[in-house]
């Protein structure tokens, strides 16, 4: 969380598009790190933290503008259609949006049986089925 705050603080006075370009890789990386764990609550808290940090950035960028003006200019519906959240930070010029962690699909890690080894020829069928299930699950999530 501190990394995001510091990055936005460095970019005070820059355009919103630059902030979005700098934060999206950080958000995606952290979301992919937490994805296999129980992370729904973590993603929700991080999205709220991002909102607070970006809101403060926008208030510094436009100190004489009202909250209503900032909301109408910078917060739009999700353009991908994955979410109905209307509080997605959007660059008004390039129409790029800040990624949200809640949009990251959670894929649980499946443990290998305690005595299974990929080098054991007798368990070849077990690993084929395991990989097939994983690939089917990730494909289904990507198609959504």
> H or E stretch including 76?
strand 75-76
In this structure, the number of other CB atoms found within 10 A of the CB of residue 29 comes to 11
Report the predicted TM-score, pTM, of the whole model to 2 decimal places. 0.75
- 8 A C-beta contact, residue 61 and residue 13: yes
Which residue, 90, 94, 99, 43, is CA-closest to 71? 90
CA dist list (Å): 78 to 12, 43, 138:
25, 17, 22
Q: Would you write out the chain's pLDDT as a tens digit for each of its 144 residues? A: 788 889 999 999 899 999 999 999 999 999 888 888 867 888 999 999 999 999 999 999 999 999 999 999 999 998 877 777 888 999 999 999 999 988 888 877 777 777 777 777 788 888 888 888 777 777 766 665
User: Structural domain boundaries of the chain?
Assistant: 2-103, 110-144
């Amino acid at each position: 969380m501190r990394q995001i705050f510091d990055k936005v603080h460095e970019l005070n006075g820059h355009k919103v598009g630059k902030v979005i370009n700098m934060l999206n890789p950080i958000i995606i990386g952290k979301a992919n790190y937490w994805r296999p764990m129980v992370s729904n609550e973590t993603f929700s808290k991080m999205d709220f933290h991002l909102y607070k940090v970006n809101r403060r950035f926008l208030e510094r960028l436009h100190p004489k503008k009202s909250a209503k003006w900032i909301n109408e200019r910078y917060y739009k519906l999700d353009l991908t259609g994955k979410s109905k959240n209307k509080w997605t930070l959007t660059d008004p010029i390039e129409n790029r949006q800040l990624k949200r962690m809640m949009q990251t699909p959670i894929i649980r890690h499946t443990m290998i049986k305690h005595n299974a080894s990929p080098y054991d020829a007798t368990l070849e069928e077990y690993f084929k089925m395991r990989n097939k299930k994983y690939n089917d699950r990730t494909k289904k999530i990507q198609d959504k």
